[in-house]
A and B are shown apart, each in its own frame.
Chain A
Amino acid sequence: MELRKNRIKQRLRDGKHVIAIENMNDADSVEQFAPNNPHCFWFEGEHFIVNPQNIGDLTRAADLINATSIVRVPRPEYQLIYHAFDLGAQGVAVPHVKSRADAELVVKSSKFSPIGQRGMFTSRQGIGVEDYFRKANDETFILVFIEDLEAIENLDEILEVDNIDVFFVGPGDLSQELGHIGEQNHPEVNKVVQETINRITKKGRVAGTVANIYSYEWAMQTGARFFLSGTLDWIGKGFNEFKELSEKL
Chain B
Amino acid sequence: MDETSAKTTQGPVIAERVLDEPSPGERARKRMFGHFGFMFGAGVLITIIAIAFLAPLISPHDPFDQQLARKLIPPIWHDHPKATWEFPLGTDQFGRDYLSRLIHGSQISLLIGFAAMLISGVIGTALGVAAGYFGGRVDMVVNFIITTRLSLPVVLVALAVVSLVGNSLTIVIWVLGLLIWDRFAVVMRSTTQQVRNLDYVAAAQAIGCSTTRIIFAEIMPNIVNNLIVVATIEMAHAIILEAALSFLGLGVQPPAPSWGLMIAEGKNHMLFDPWLVGIPGTALFILILSINLLGDGIRDVTAPENRN
Partners in one complex: no
Task: Tell me the A residues contacting B by CB distance below 8 Å.
Answer: none
Task: Tell me the B residues contacting A by CB distance below 8 Å.
Answer: none
